[in-house]
Structure 1
Amino acid sequence: MQGDDAMTKQATSPIGTPGVPWGPAEVAAWRAGQTRKRSFEAEVLGAIQALGERWDLVQYGRLDYPPDTYPLLAIKSRNWRDELPCALVTGGVHGYETSGVHGALRFVGEHAASYEGRVNLMVVPCVSPWAYERIHRWNAQAIDPNRSFRQDSPVQESAALMRLVEPLRDRVLVHIDLHETTDSDESEFRPALAARDGVAFVPGNIPDGFYLVGDTQDPQPAFQRAVIAAVAKVTHIAPADAEGQIIGSPVVAPGVINYPLRQLGLCASITNATYKTTTEVYPDSPRATAEQCNEAQSAAVRAAIDFALAAKA
């Protein structure tokens, strides 16, 4: 029965032929249907530029999707000291995941100054500004940047971030990548992925609450627990489903699952940081507000850095 429903959902895709992967014509048709729904310049770029009085702003690339271009900006500690460990914060790898962007900006605006002299900070609030404006998971080529952090990546967003981070790859102590899991994952993005790849859409479940994705190869369970404990003071933690899983992966601790980050080409794999995690906030929960989601992301960043610095001491 589930297979029948899956094929029905696939067949309703307005682009392409069910069961046939998209080619360039289908990608072009999809891109033509994407419209700007909000302003990166007004909502994000302006906020980043306002931080320039206290922080160094580094333009590490320019996203070019004619007729649109976007500066790619990182926020960096002004008093950078080579002897200090580095903390990397990334947000907006998926442009539609709003609290990842604004949670990163909140952390810098309200809390980052307290780490001066203890850690070098590099914060990239919005990796995918084209997708931010269109409230989408993919870039303009219908590719997921968060499966594209690989050597010689064809994805502008991913390749530019990897070039920025490469000189720090072995010096980053902690990297926290800020994401959301939304109802639109199930209603829009997963069906679109199935249509793009010419496969059946298999329905899943959206967990109600915050969770983390650690690294299967080096899970650092105490670190993940510390971040969960901090976020639990702000918003609720996602429970395991009836199979003891979250989004199809076994729950290894309350609110924690693990992925093979590097094998999947995920953003959290781009350094050799000892401590790394991906946050997943659930903004569509009736038990959470946008304010809580932004605060949860900021709290997660602070807890991650605090744990890493304490462990190193």
Structure 2
Amino acid sequence: MNNPAFYPIGTPGRAWGDAEKSEWRARQVRQRSYADEVLSVIEQLRADFDVVEYGLIEYAPDAYPLFAVRNRDWRDDLPVALVTGGVHGYETSGVHGALRFLQHDAERYAGRINLLVAPCISPWAYERIHRWNADAIDPNRSFRENSPAAESAALMALVGPLRDRILVHIDLHETTDTDESEFRPALAARDGKPFEPGTIPDGFYLCADSEAPEPAFQQAVIAAVAQVTHIAPADPDGTIIGSPVVAPGVIEYPYRALGLCAGVTDARYRTTTEVYPDSPRATPEQCNEAQAASVRGAIDHALTQA
């Protein structure tokens, strides 16, 4: 039986219209600064990397420039590794793990692979610690033609010319306790559907592409992260967040059918990370390092197979 959850906006059983979305947006409060916490770090990286402004997100009265960072010794004869973070702005370690990788790890790949890193795809949501953009749209269900999310459309335009050259794409995410307490109830309310309670896994896991899972690659990433933090066990029914576990710490989603970020390229090696920052067994520092470790593990495996 469905267990309804109270949500303070809308009428149960009826999808939101413009009025409800406006009410939801008015409730969203800036809680941190994209300029201070993200752009300041990107500015420091300019000494060693090329920084590309690939879009501008405007939600009046706010405007947010979007930046990607790439290695300065870019070579057209090398494949590309794409790293994306902050598709869901509230997933903090996705943003700061991507920046950490650039600060501490990127140099080791010089002359071996080109790096393109978009560390914070959804800055409005980053500041408000939310999953959706200002239009109550989930960018990570919007990576498709004629995307309704400006954040998703901007990234697709950035990577489009490189699509056939991208060897590995790792998209950095988190699963948090607020998924169950806020974001899933909000989703049910927005869509006029009953809320169905789920579970939150304690630990790191991966969502592979069910259309091209590359199991050895997924396990290489899991092995790299296991050196930093714990891997989520399966629930008693053999699932994680309701999806069957196909290997330790790995589930599968159909990326393109769902409009997920990790499906925007034809990269042979692609995955979506999920860190659990609310675990009593993990610190914010561990979560950031787990994301950086996943990027290293992904690129290292891809290079050994290339």
State the TM-score bracket (shorter-chain normalisation). Answer: over 0.9
Q: C-alpha displacement at 1:253, in angstroms? A: 0.5
Deviating 4+ runs (over 3 angstroms) = none
Q: Which residue of 1 aligns with 2:60?
A: 66
Q: Which residue of 2 aligns with 1:238?
A: 232
Deviations 1:83-129 (A, max 9, x none): 00100000000000000000000000001011010000000000000
Which of 86, 97, 109 is equivalent to 1:103?
Answer: 97
Which of 122, 129, 150 is equivalent to 1:128?
Answer: 122
Mark the runs of 5 or more structure 1 residues left unpaired by the alignment: none
Distance in structure 2 (CA, Å) of the matches to 1:252 and 1:80: 37
The alignment-based identity, stated in percent, is 70
Which of 169, 173, 181 is equivalent to 2:175?
Answer: 181
Q: Which amino acid aligns with 1:89?
A: V
Which of 49, 59, 73 is equivalent to 1:55?
Answer: 49
Which of 78, 82, 94 is equivalent to 1:84?
Answer: 78
Distance in structure 1 (CA, Å) of the matches to 2:164 and 2:145: 16
Deviations 1:249-278 (A, max 9, x none): 110100001110011000000000000000
Q: Which residue of 2 aligns with 1:277?
A: 271
- Give the secondary-structure state (helix, strand or coil) at the position aligned to 2:89: coil
Distance in structure 2 (CA, Å) of the matches to 1:17 and 1:240: 35
Number of residue pairs matched?
A: 306
Distance in structure 2 (CA, Å) of the matches to 1:17 and 1:256: 37
Q: Which residue of 1 aligns with 2:164?
A: 170
Deviations 1:198-253 (A, max 9, x none): 01000000000000010101100000000000100100000000110001111010
Q: Which residue of 2 aligns with 1:143?
A: 137
Which of 10, 18, 28 is equivalent to 1:34?
Answer: 28
- Give the secondary-structure state (helix, strand or coil) at the position aligned to 1:291: helix
Q: C-alpha displacement at 1:77, in angstroms? A: 1.2
Q: C-alpha displacement at 1:14, in angstroms? A: 1.4
1:24 and 2:36 are equivalent in the alignment? no
Give me the CA root mean square deviation.
0.6
1:311 and 2:305 are equivalent in the alignment? yes
Mark the runs of 5 or more structure 2 residues left unpaired by the alignment: none
Q: Which residue of 2 aligns with 1:116?
A: 110
TM-score by length of 1: 0.97
Q: Which residue of 1 aligns with 2:291?
A: 297
Q: Which amino acid aligns with 1:68?
A: D
